[in-house]
Chain A
Amino acid sequence: MTLMNPLVRPVITDDDGRSEDEKLVTFEARVAAGEKIEPTDWMPDRYRQQLIRMVQNHGNSEIVGALPEREWIPHAPTFKRKLALTAKVQDEVGHAQLLYRVVETLGKPREVIIEELLNGTAKYSNVFNYPPETWADVGIIAWLIDAAAIIRQMLLREGSYGPYSRALKRICYEESFHLKHGHDICVTLATGTQFQRDMLQDALNRWWNPIVGFFGPPDRASVHTDELMRWRVKLKTNDAIRQQFFDQYVPRIWELGLSIPDPELRKDDESGRWLYTEPDWEEFKRVIKGHGPCNAERIAVRRLAHEEGEWVRRALAAAANDQAVPVQ
């Protein structure tokens, strides 16, 4: 019997004499039957690499996504807002913790993941490279970016990798609070003074394009995309998810008396699809490559936190070898 430890890192030693092709057949049949893949299963290398890239990116987006919002924790204007915003940012750190553990089950240790974030070789969601300028931004981010994230994550939860699915169950549950907290801020501002309504409209004006871009450029038809769909790593195309977002959230934005800053935006009655102005995908790529308004700042804050925590992690790693001192 081969003993495996699925929690430290997958130990793939099932050299059972089957060819790679035979293993692939079993793997694909399992995914097609709607079953989950677990860390100790054989999996195609492209599947493993794609999942690492995707979940790592997701974890990075949580940890970097916490940064713009945490800037506003000291300024949140009521007890409930201060508590909720702190709890939301805390959840995001918690999500990064869960997601980095998922990546570890695929073979990449957390210290490496963090190093790749800090040296700029790993990506995270573009939307967090824009600055939150006013309190209304906090509402728009928590409501609409988290809404966009939930739509995507509810789909991914049905994906094929067991540990990722399990993490997403909990993440989606927590994000539903984020969304309500954000929506609640927006409703308060929308029903508030003229100054507050203007502040909210201004925030939407600045965030709309990054939010539409959140789902990524239209997928190019490719063998690669087909494969990811077949393996249930990708569940819907970027465009399909974007349409779903418009369907659910454009009416809710309008009902607050807000204007969406896209003159082309409307639902086409014939096709049932939303028409909209494509974000500038060239700019999107520039920002992804590190040239957005806040890329350098985000990574610098993260790096500072990492460096300032270095002595703490080092000291306790040393202390871990000496568990003799009981607490209390």
Chain B
Amino acid sequence: MSDHTQDAATIDLLFRLADDELMMGHRNAEWTGVGPVLEEDIAFSSMAQDELGHAFAYYTVLHEHLGQDNPDTLAFRREAADFRNARLTALPRSDWAAAVMRQFLYDAAEQVRLEHYSSHPFAPLAQLARKFRGEEKYHLMHGKSWVMRLGSATEDSRARLQAALEALWPHALGLFEPGQGGEDAGASEAALCAGWLAQVCPLLVSSSLQVPAERTAKGQWQSRVAAVYGRYAEPAPERVALLDAMQKVYRLDPNADW
């Protein structure tokens, strides 16, 4: 593969990573001030800030190593059609069961990804993957704890979590949509997805939830439901709505300092 196509694949990958983190950070930050209990309000807000921080770091790599615009321009000025986030990350905030489930499914995927990327041939990415490890570990710890507790607490909480799981599952699979910039040199999306299923399915099962997946004869987990892809499609309405809100002030005067 030539350097040029390698760059295109890396740029595409970094945009996917950055845009996912940005959207997750944005949606999760919407919980700040209205969480279900004060202590959790604080914890969830910190994770939103971590995600925004990770997005900023990925955009910085795009800017400094791959010739893209600066992070604020990439986040606040880019058109919806140019974003590469999976649909899962931009879905509007709904109830706490969905918030917790999305966070768990997403951060489990992050952990599997970062584990692979910590030895990625593109050094700046490998470096970030190692730097984010501690924060992602906490996110996953938090997500697992909530899923397990709510899954086994009351019939009501289990039912809400189950509904959230079913609604989010196809979108979560969409996190592993193959990149259009060419296959990444670090890890294939299919391999990451398999790693993710192996991580989340047993925990969901032990949390008294019905997983839309089954074990194959080889002992691997396989989803019974198809993924919803949306990274490269016509921008989904939730992405457009999110960007309208996020870019509102910046676009009052994109040439001003804010």
Contact = CB atoms under 8 A, between A and B. Distances in A.
A74 B42 contact: no
Given A70-B34, A193-B253, A309-B36, A315 B148 contact: no
Nearest to A135: B249
B157 A315 contact: yes
Interface in A186-204: 188, 191-193, 195-196
A33 interface: no
Contacts of B32: 66, 70, 73, 86, 89-90, 93
Interface residues of A, number: 49
Interface stretch (B45-53, B211-219, B227-235): B45-53
Given A82-B52, A315-B154, A325 B148 contact: yes
Contacts of A90: 32, 41-42, 45-46, 49
Given A196-B256, A315-B156, A318-B153, A86 B29 contact: yes
A114 to B, nearest CB: 9
Interface in B131-157: 141, 144-145, 148-150, 152-154, 156-157
A188 to B, nearest CB: 6
B52 A86 contact: yes
Among A79, A83, A322, A327, chain B packs the most CB atoms within 10 A around the CB of A79
A97 B38 contact: yes
A196 B35 contact: no
Contact of B45 (A76, A89, A100): A89
Contacts of B253: 193, 195-196
Given A79-B72, A308-B95, A327-B144, A93 B257 contact: no
Interface string A84-123: 0011011011101100100000000000000000000000
A309 B37 contact: yes
B130 interface: no
A67 B53 CA distance: 23
Interface of B is mostly: helix
A96 B49 contact: no
A193 B29 CA distance: 29
A313 B156 CA distance: 12
Contacts of B248: 75
A79 B52 contact: yes
A316 B154 CA distance: 8
The interface size bin for chain B is 35 or more
A86 B49 contact: yes
A70 B35 CA distance: 12
Interface string B4-41: 00000000000000000000001001101111111101
B117 interface: no
Given A74-B30, A188-B257, A316-B153, A94 B42 contact: yes
A315 B33 contact: no
B252 interface: yes
A4 interface: no
B160 interface: yes
Nearest to B206: A325
A303 B257 CA distance: 37
17 contacts: A66-B33, A73-B29, A74-B246, A79-B56, A79-B71, A86-B29, A90-B45, A96-B38, A135-B258, A305-B35, A309-B37, A311-B156, A312-B96, A312-B157, A314-B154, A316-B150, A318-B154
Interface of A: 63, 66-67, 69-70, 73-79, 81-83, 86-87, 89-90, 92-94, 96-97, 100, 135, 188, 191-193, 195-196, 301, 304-305, 308-309, 311-316, 318-319, 322, 325, 327-328
Interface of B: 26, 29-30, 32-39, 41-42, 45-46, 48-49, 52-53, 55-56, 71-72, 75-76, 95-96, 141, 144-145, 148-150, 152-154, 156-157, 160, 245-246, 248-250, 252-253, 256-258
